[in-house]
Amino acid sequence: MAAAGRRATLVVVSSTTTFPRPLFLLRGGNRPDDAVAFITALRDRFEAGAGESGKARPLLVPIGPGEDAEAVKSDLARRLDPHSPAIDPEVDLLLRTSGSTTGTGALVAMSMRALTASARATHARLGGPGSWVLALPAQHVAGLQVVMRSLLAGRAPVVADTSRGFSPDALADAITRALATRPGDPVRVSLVPTQLVRALAPGQERARAALARVDAVLLGGAAADPALLERARAAGVRVVTTYGMSETGGGCIYDGVPLDGVEVRIENPDGDGVGRVVLAGPVLAHGYAERGAGLAPSAGAAVFRERSDPAARRDLLTSDIGKLIDGTDGVRRLAVLGRVDDVIITGGIKVVPREVEQALTALGGVAEACVVGVPDAQWGSAVAAAVVPESTAKPGDRRVWAKQLRAAARQRLDGAHAPKRIVVVDALPLRGPGKVDRLAVARLADEAGALAQDSA
C-alpha cells in the first residue's frame, strides 16, 4: 500500500456533463490497484476540506469493480434530478444503495463533512485512531468509512483482496500485515455477518486466531445473529455490533448506543414501545438526489425531514422498526427489529422475520437463515425460510432435513411464526456489500414451495 502515499490527481473512470456538476465515477472494490486509486481520490478530496461557499466541486460516484461505466452514466442521467435540493456545494459524493429489500437502490447525496464526523465519532467510541483492514468493497459505505477512518488517522488501510470472493485466509493475511506494520497500534476491521460466519467456520483456524488479535471487529450491514455473536466472543473476537446505512454515513449506533452527536428516537411507539427508528446528527446525508425523491414515498420508505433546530438541520425517518430498552447499567440501547417492509402479515398476525431467524440459527446444524413472506392462498402470506447448513452438518437429504427443521421450529415458535416452508441452500444470495438479497430468497422459497410446503 505504499503507493497510497503518492500525491496524485483524481482518478477518473468516467464523467458526465449533462448534470450541473460534473460526475466522476471512481472504481471501488478490493483489488489492490483499484483500492490505491480509490484511496488516493478520497484523500485528495478529504485534504481539500469542506466545500467553499458558492463553489461546487465535481461529485464523486463510487462504482463497483465490474460495473460498466457507460451503463452507470446512462442510469444516472435517467435518475438524477438536476434541481434536487440535496445537491448543494457541500455535497461531495453520490452513494448508490443496494436496494437489498426493495430491489431499487437510492442515490444518497453525502458530504465529506458528514463522513468525517462519523469517522471522528468512531475513533472516540473505540478509544482513539488505529490501523484498519479493508475487507469490504470500497464503493459501499462501510468500506468507504474504513478509508475515511484511515485517512483521518493518517494511515493507509491494509487491503484484504476479495476481488475473487471473500476468503478467510486473505482476511487473516491482511490482519497479520496490519499488526506488523505498526506494532502496538490497535488494528480494526469491518465485516458483514456472512464474512464472520465464514471466518469462524470449522477449519478456518488462521482467520479465527487473527480476528482474536484484532482490537475491534465492527459487524454491520445486516442483523447480527445472537448465536454468531456467542461463537465469536467464545473465540476471543471483540465484536462491536453496528447499525446504520448509507444515509448515515455507515454505522452510527454501536452496541445499541448512538455515537457522539447522534440522536435516536422511536416515532409513534405502540404499547410495547415499538415504532419507526428516527435518526439525526452531523453524520446524516443531505438527502436523496433522484427524480421524485420525497414525493409521496411508499409507506415503508426512508424519508429525510427538515428541522428548525440548527444543531440538527434534518432527521431521517428510517425504514426500520425498533425500540429503546433500558439496560441494567442504566444505559438506554436501541434494539432494531427489522425493516417495516420485512414484517410478514400471516393470517392477520404480524411476524418479525428476525425473531424467526434467531430461532432457526439456534437449532443444531444451521449456520445462517433468512426469513421472508411468500404469497399464500389461505393465510395471505406464509412464513418461509432459506437456511444454510453448517459445514460439519451437511444433510444427506435436504428435503428430509428441511422437514426436521420445520418440526423443531414448531417446538420453539407458535403456529404463525413457525416457517411453513424451508429451503436448504449452500449460501444465501447476496447483493451490495454482503447484504442478504431478500427478494432473491423470496423467489427461492416460492419456487421450492411445491416441494417444501408444510401440511400444517
Domain end marker among 294, 321, 339: 339
Same domain, 347 and 401: yes
Its pTM stands at 0.82
**At 201, is the secondary structure helix, strand, or coil?**
coil
> Which DSSP string corresponds to 255-303?
TTEEPTT-EEEEES--TTS-EEEEEESTT---EE-BTTTTSS--TT--E
| pLDDT of 32 | 84
Asked if the model's pLDDT at residue 450 lies above 60, the reply is: no
Mean pLDDT of 155-171: 90
Same domain, 351 and 331: no
Asked if the model's pLDDT at residue 141 lies above 90, the reply is: yes
CA distance linking residue 303 with residue 101, whole number of Å: 16
Q: How confident is the model at residue 165 (pLDDT cuts 50, 70, 90)?
A: confident
Average of per-residue pLDDT values in the chain: 85
* Distances from the Cα of 432 to the Cα of 15, 70, 76, angstroms: 23, 20, 18
CA distance linking residue 410 with residue 118, whole number of Å: 43
pLDDT tens-digit series, residues 253-265: 999 999 999 999 9
**At 151, is the secondary structure helix, strand, or coil?**
helix
Same domain, 246 and 295: yes
Same domain, 301 and 317: yes
Pairing of strands 380-389, 366-376: antiparallel
Asked if the model's pLDDT at residue 423 lies above 50, the reply is: yes
| pLDDT of 15 | 60
Same domain, 352 and 426: yes
Same domain, 126 and 214: yes
Q: How confident is the model at residue 176 (pLDDT cuts 50, 70, 90)?
A: very high
Q: How confident is the model at residue 34 (pLDDT cuts 50, 70, 90)?
A: confident
Domain end marker among 339, 363, 394: 339
| pLDDT of 44 | 86
> What's the CATH code of the domain at 105?
3.40.50.12780
The candidate with the shortest Cα–Cα distance to 197, out of 207, 209, 212, 187, is 207
Asked if the model's pLDDT at residue 101 lies above 50, the reply is: no
* Distances from the Cα of 204 to the Cα of 42, 128, 187, 199, 210, angstroms: 34, 30, 20, 6, 10
Same domain, 273 and 395: no
**At 228, is the secondary structure helix, strand, or coil?**
helix
Same domain, 286 and 416: no
Domain end marker among 339, 359, 377: 339
For residue 394, give its domain range: 343-452
The candidate with the shortest Cα–Cα distance to 115, out of 304, 247, 306, is 247
> What's the CATH code of the domain at 414?
3.30.300.30
Asked if the model's pLDDT at residue 346 lies above 70, the reply is: yes
Asked if the model's pLDDT at residue 137 lies above 50, the reply is: yes
Same domain, 215 and 274: yes
Same domain, 218 and 237: yes
Query: Which residues make Cβ contacts (< 8 Å) with residue 160, sequence separation at least 6?
Result: 30, 133, 134, 135, 167, 170, 171, 173, 174, 175
CA distance linking residue 22 with residue 16, whole number of Å: 6
Q: Which three cell numbers stand for residue 299?
A: 409507506
Q: Which three cell numbers stand for residue 82?
A: 438536476
Same domain, 329 and 380: no
Q: Total domain count for the chain?
A: 2
Same domain, 326 and 204: yes
